[in-house]
Each structure stands twice: as C-alpha cells, then as structure tokens.
Chain A
Amino acid sequence: MEILMAFVCGFLFMAAIYLILSRSLLRIIIGTGLLSHGAHLLILTMGSFKGSAPPVLSEGVTDYVDPVPQALILTAIVISFGVTAFFLVLAYRAYQELKTDDMTLMKGSEDHE
C-alpha cells in the first residue's frame, strides 16, 4: 500500500512541477494545488498505514491509526488554503493591472539596465 501511495505522490509532484514551469499564471496556481495535495498525501503515507480504527477512543478497540500525521495534515491544509486564496486574488489583481497572465511578459523593472 505504501509503495502504491509513493508512486501516486511522485506522480502528483511530477504533474505539479510540469505545471509550475509553464507560462500561464493559472496553470502555475493549479500546479501549487497539486503540489500541496502530494505533500499532504506524503505525510499520511509516511505515518504508515498500520492500524485499522480511526483515532477516536471507543470501547474494545486497541488498534488505532497514528493520529499525529492527521493533525499535521489538517494544519497544513488550512495554511495552504489560506495561501492559495491569497495567491488567486493576487493573480486576479495582477491580471487587472498588468493586463496579462503570461509569466514571460512579467519581467524586470522599467528602469532595469
């Protein structure tokens, strides 16, 4: 199971890097979304899939999954959600002001030598 998940994470990272290296700003933001998905899935995988019951105390269950990675993922999800929301609004503003979403046209300052 861990091997399969490692391949899935690797594929997500590959797709994310490919999208981040493209020219359009929206494709880059989609790439960051995939990157954070891959990272969160990797935390879950690295915590290993031992244990069968969800980490909620209940009678007669002794075999819980590791609760720490789930707490880490929950934290990382809201943080990346906040950053992505900010990034999307920034992209919108930049499109209004700069009239382009092509990263190759967003270079240098006007007084650059």
Chain B
Amino acid sequence: MNNFLLLPIIIPFFFGMFLIFNQKRLAYQRIITMLGLILAIICALSLVYKVYLDGPQTVTFGSWPAPFGITMVSDMVSALLVTTTLVLAFFIVWYGFESIGKERERFFYYPGVMFIITGVNGAFTTGDIFNLFVFFEVLLMASYLLIVLGGEKAQLRESIKYILVNVLSSALFVITVAFLYSVVGTLSMADISLKIAEIKQPGIITVIAVMFLMVFGMKAAIFPLYFWLPSAYSAPPIPVLALFGALLTKVGVYAIMRTYTLFFTHDLAYTHELLLILSIITIIAGCIGALAHFDVKQIIIYNIVIAVGVILFGVAQMNQIGLEGAMFYLVHDMIIKAALFMLIGLVIYVTGTTNLRKMGGLMKTYPALGWFYLIAAFGLAGVPPLSGFVGKLLIVQGGFQAGNIWTSLLLLASSLVVLLSVMRIFIYAFWGEQGQVSNQVNKKVYNRMFFPTMLLVFISILYGVGTEWLTPLMEDAAKILIEPSIYTDAVMKGGN
C-alpha cells in the first residue's frame, strides 16, 4: 500500500471537515478531534518504522512518471517531524480543553487546529516546490483564523501585522519560484536538484538561494526578519501560542534545511557562510531579547528565536555530525517549547499576570509545577541527562569539525544565557515572598491542565534518556540530508 505515507496528512484533513458540522456540540468536537489525532499518531509511528526498514517512501499522484506529477516524499527527516507534530498537537489540544474557553471552542477552534496540522504535515512531506507553497498557505490560513479567534483588541491589532508580513513573504515565495522555474524549468524538488547539479550552480541560482533564505527566514524568524514574531505571538491564548511556537517557525527551518541540503550545495562558500553568519546573529538577537524582558511569554518567545539560530547553525556546517545534531535539536526544541508554553500558561493561570515582578513564592503552593518547570528549563538549556544535550553536543562537534571554532564557542556561551533567562522565571515566580495570586483558580481545572503538561515533560525526559534508541533514526535523517542522491534516486526511480 504505497499511499500509506499520505495518511498523516489526510486523516487530520478529513476529521477537520467533519468538525465543521455540529460546531456547537462540544463533546462531539472534542472526541472527534482526539480520535483523529490518535489515529494519525498511530499511522505516523508506523510510517517511521516503515521508512526505517525500507528507506524513503514516495508516491507520485495519478501514476504520472516522477518529474511530471506531484510527488510526496517521506524520508526519515519528514517522518520524524510529522510524528512530533501530531504528538504535540495531541497534548496541546488536551491542554486546551480547560484553557481555551468555551466560546472559542464553539467557533471553529478545532477545525482550525486540524487544518493547521494538515498544512504542517503536508509541508514536511511534499516533494514539489509549488506544492510546498500551497501547503504553506494552508497552514497560514488556519493560523490567521487561530490568531484572531476571540476578537480581542490585542489580537485584532497583532493579527493585522502578522497577516501583512505573511502576505509579503508568500508573494516573495511565488516570485522566487517563478525565477527558479525560468532557470531550471521544473518544479519537482528531486528534478530541480538534478538540474542544478547539471548546470553547476551559476550566479543566478545563488541569487535564488538567497531569495529562498529570505522567504523561509521570514517564516522561521531568522535575524533581520524576526521583527514580527515577538508581538504577533504575544496576542493569542496559550494553547494557540504553544501550537505556533512549536510548529510554525519549525516549518520554515525545515524548508531552509531541505533547500540548502538538496538544491544549493555547489557554492557552499557563499550560501552556507551567509547562513552561518545569520544564524549566529539570530542567536545573539534572541539572547538580548530573552534577557531584556520581564514578561514570561516574551522570554520564552525570544527563546524560539535562539533555537532557530542554533538549528540553522547546525545546518550551515554541512557535515554529517552537524546535520544529525540539527535534527536532534529540531525535534527536541519542538517538544520542549510546547512544554514550556504549557507550563507558563499554568503559571499565568494561577497568578493572573504575565509580569515576573508581580509573581513570587509559588513553590509553597504549587511544588509539582515548580519542579516540572525546573526540569523543562534544564532540558531547554541542555543539561546532560535531559533532551537538549545531545543535539547541541553534536552541533558543536560539527562546528569544530568544519573549523568554525569561535562561532561554536559562542553557541556554547548562548546556552548560559538561555539557562539564565529561564532560571529568572523560576527564581522570580517560584522563590521569595508570596506574590500576586489569581482569585479564580479552580483546583480541578488546574489539575486537568497540569496532567497533559506533566506527560509532555516526561516525553522530553524520555527523549533525552533514550538517545541511544533514537540515534539510528537521526543518522538515517542526516544521511539523506548530506547525500541528496539518496533522495533524488528514491523519487526518480519511483521509490519502493
């Protein structure tokens, strides 16, 4: 059954369609959403297993031969990211039952979540550059709905800016695809890779590479293009913020990773050097932002920017170890960002404020929350047994191997700033005198929100402890990134 790799895209799509009906019946909405996500997770896990056993899976729609139809490709990179996306969506939706609010749930919140997952999974799986644009638009349209849903003043104000930025970057994406089409005359990603290798990457392809970096960098929030992210992400409610923070920027990171390892590999001295410099400045800019704010949401939001820089630093090394580290760190960062936003949401729920200066003394009343936050914070910074360690170790190792000594040391130093920024939340909110407390905390609601958060932190611990089991998968993923011929062979020969 070679259509199997489409199931993680199609299942959320169909369940999203069913959710459009019966929008006022909350029980129906919740049960159908969870059912769809569990089904999709099972399919995604078996897809990972299949890709591990048989190599990359491909299907070209309508039985057209490879460069003429739209190809969907599931290699280890995309299979792992699809699985992570679905697992995170499951926990975030579960968390949202108590925190998103009944009014939003009645007005197409769940279809929005399902369609955003359709778009994200499609973008991870597609093997056609214009189809990638279409899936970007699918996830962006759903994200416009989710960011403005509720219609508060701040949401309206920020979503105007968010939409404007994304309309601009989408137009730039179309323009870039037009230029690329006029040079290589094809849209299939495997075929583009072969054609660029044939013509040995003339100057115009390098220009297109930089344009792609601008397009995807705008989605992924790299240094000069991250300006929209902090204010846009501060507007929506916590479950939506967790969904955005864990998934949306990572799609841009994945697209940069894919195009810079598959297409533009013949002028590394220019393109990858540029990527390296931009990723380092991204890390610095994120560090400055994370230290400057006293707003818990903003601190974690700037940590997204730092992580994007770290992953792209790994990609810019262009060696097996660096790419393996980037894959490890990408999956880790998706999990830990979702967990941190959920923990921050609980802190905001029990204190009723996002201002760190007004908080304090939560350790006496909510010790479990404090300890889990501490574990997640250490995981983010990369303390050895936890999840962030292996990825950053391999990235730095790759950096040393490629001869980028000083920038790798800077990357290590940034971990200290990350640790400082998240420990500041711990110190201000959990230690010291009793600070502000919200007067409408319902212990039962709190417990129901805490349970999925706790499970997600456990998953991140498992991810760190179980590195040994994940290494073969990540090695597979890095191999396909470093060796584009595996990808192009799988697509052009119809795969297996």
Contact = CB atoms under 8 A, between A and B. Distances in A.
B156 A98 contact: yes
B154 interface: yes
Contacts of A82: 141
B303 to A, nearest CB: 19
20 contacts: A32-B164, A35-B168, A36-B171, A39-B175, A42-B178, A43-B174, A46-B179, A68-B181, A72-B178, A76-B174, A80-B171, A82-B141, A90-B163, A97-B151, A98-B157, A106-B160, A109-B154, A111-B295, A111-B355, A113-B294
Contacts of B159: 90
Interface in A42-64: 42-43, 45-48
B360 to A, nearest CB: 18
A69 B179 CA distance: 11
A93 B133 CA distance: 28
Contact of B234 (A25, A28, A45, A109): A109
Nearest to A72: B130
Contacts of A86: 141, 144, 163
Contacts of B234: 109
A35 B154 contact: no
Given A36-B171, A79-B134, A113-B294, A97 B153 contact: yes
B243 interface: no
A32 B174 contact: no
A86 to B, nearest CB: 6
Interface of B: 130, 133-134, 137, 140-141, 144, 148, 151, 153-154, 156-157, 159-160, 163-164, 167-168, 170-171, 174-175, 177-179, 181-182, 187, 231, 234, 294-295, 354-355
A91 interface: yes
A94 B164 contact: no
A20 B156 contact: no
B174 A94 contact: no
Nearest to B187: A68
A106 B232 CA distance: 13
Nearest to B355: A111
Contacts of A32: 164, 167-168, 171
Contacts of B151: 93, 97
A83 interface: yes
B156 A48 contact: no
Contacts of A28: 164
